[in-house]
Structure 1
């Protein structure tokens, strides 16, 4: 049975890597918009009796989710055996609690939409803050590719004497895991967030690490304020130029340009960006094969 990989408006470079890793057939689709801005979608590849994996990166999901659901329904009607989703960035995970009356806890209805249309899902380090696993809100089998080993491997190969730094107490377990895999020491910051762009950071004693390269590790860089504040403290402490590493590089507004002036910035290939240097395709392919075989 063949595996067909269909790229729905996502990174062509990662698509090519996934096709190679999965030994999959490239699925062809026709996609355009009618004059009233509704979507026209046609699947040109025969999917009957084959597994279909849709590569749709759900970063900025509101522009993609309806087309994803239309595509999944179409290939199911065509007779696909299993329909899976590869989404390196899983959207709508950050709103996981109702803080005010009437707020939508968007992670839950979004999970129901995905679960109703697909048979399995693979993603990379989703934002699991108040959920222990994706199984709490997704009813389909899922696999989370952990970026910690991939980041640790990059650090070992590229930074001689690193000191890993986590942005807050919540990151300690994750950063300590990367540090252990990289064979490097780590420190965790104390952080007070007053708003999206108002963050106060205090550092532990870094005197003994003065000759180490500080490596700031986080799951997401969005506004970049935490890292910028941290780098200021590191500079004042006389430490070498920092390296900032994130799994998901969102870089709101001019965050990337600001960080670039004071640090080297590295991200995984989860969200296509000039900073993307950490490869994820082999690990994603392993997870997909496991789900297809299961």
Structure 2
């Protein structure tokens, strides 16, 4: 089946790379806002009987969801054989239970909505906490890419004597995997969260790694409070300046600059969300999966 790729606004670089790697057609579409804020969609390429791949990372999802939905529905009405959404960052995964009476379980609602207008979903390391797989809430075929391979390779070739540091017990499984592949030791922080912006950190057994470069790894860097608190502890213990690595760099408010102010040597992310910190590419992994559709 012929494939044609469309970039939602802000996803042009990744879409161009994926289109070239898959030897596919680059689709043309107009997506803009009317003066009243409503979304205008026009597909200018022939999509009939083709697999339409819509590339749209879903940070700040509320602004992106309607254009994505409208583009998918328009492609179907114009004869597309099937629709695949490539969302390197998948939003609304954290609210996976009703923590307080009256709350909405928005991860399930979002999954139901996405499943209603696409045939396939490809994403990178979604925040699966209390769920074992996306199939618990998504009713379409979903494929997950794990960034551990590209992270470990980057660490192995760019950092001398790395010590991987996981943010909490939940991260131990994938941090240990990255450490193993990078041939590096790792430790897991002991963390007590007192609120959205207040975290108490304990760094166990750090004394034996004084000659290593700490590498703080997390799946999502949002407020960066955990990393900033950890940097402070490492500094007090006389450790080298750490390298901070995240799969998904959301960087809420001033989080990115705050990390450097706190004493980070470098802040590195995968290109799942476009940002100046993108140094680790996941293009090849995504392209391989798309070729199998």
Give TM-score scaled by structure 2 length. 0.97
**SS where residue 246 of structure 2 aligns?**
strand
Q: CA deviation at 1:221?
A: 0.9
Instruction: State the partner residue of 1:41.
Output: 41
Q: Report the 3-state secondary structure (helix = DSSP H, G, I; strand = E; otherwise coil) of the residue aligned with 1:214.
A: strand
Question: What is the aligned partner in structure 2 of residue 219 from structure 1?
Answer: 219
SS at match of 2:151: helix
Counterpart position of 2:194: 194
TM-score, length-scaled by structure 1:
0.97
Residues 157-168 of structure 1: pairs in structure 2 closer than 5 A? 157-168=157-168
**Any idea what the Cα deviations from partners look like across 1:25-67, whole Å, max 9, x if unmatched?**
1111112222322111111001001111000111111101011
* C-alpha contact 2:124 2:272 (8 A) present in aligned 1: yes
Match of residue 179 from structure 2: 179
User: In the alignment, what sits opposite 1:126?
Assistant: 126
Q: What pairs up with 1:33-72 in 2 under 5 angstroms? A: 33-72=33-72
- Contact 1:10 1:55 survives alignment (8 Å): no
Counterpart position of 1:95: 95
Deviation at 1:166, TM superposition (A): 0.4
Mapped to 2, the partners of 1:185 and 1:133 lie a distance apart of: 28
Rounded Cα–Cα distance in structure 2 between residues aligned with 1:246 and 1:27: 31
Equivalents in 1 of 2:36, 2:208: separation in Å?
Answer: 63
Kindly indicate whether the alpha-carbon contact (under 8 Å) linking 2:3 and 2:25 is maintained by their aligned counterparts in 1: yes
1:1-294 mapped onto 2 (5 Å cutoff)? 1-261=1-261, 262-263=263-264, 264-290=266-292, 292=293
How far apart are the structure 2 equivalents of 1:38 and 1:222? 29
Distance 2:105 2:137 in 1: 11
Determine the C-alpha separation between the residues in 2 that align with 1:35 and 1:228. 41
- Runs of 4+ in structure 1 displaced over 4 angstroms? none
Q: CA deviation at 1:224?
A: 1.0
CA shift at 1:101, angstroms? 2.0
DSSP 3-state at the match of 2:227: helix
Indicate if the aligned counterparts of 2:73 and 2:117 stay in contact, CA closer than 8 A. yes
SS at match of 1:117: coil
CA drift at 1:149? 0.7
- Cα separation, 2, equivalents of 1:210 and 1:38: 56
C-alpha contact (below 8 Å) 2:31/2:67 kept by paired residues: no
1:13 partner SS: helix
Q: C-alpha offsets along residues 199-236 of structure 1, whole Å, 9 cap, x if unaligned?
A: 00001021111100000110011111111111111111
Figure out how many residues of one structure are paired with residues of the other and give that number: 291
Which shows bigger deviation, 232-241 or 181-190?
232-241
Superposed displacement of residue 8, structure 1: 1.1
- Other structure's SS at 2:163 match: strand
Segments of 5+ residues of structure 2 without an aligned counterpart are: none
The CA RMSD over aligned residues, in Å, is: 1.0
Q: Within 1, Cα distance between the matches of 2:62 and 2:237? A: 43
Determine if contact 2:6/2:55 at 8 Å carries over to the other structure. Answer: yes
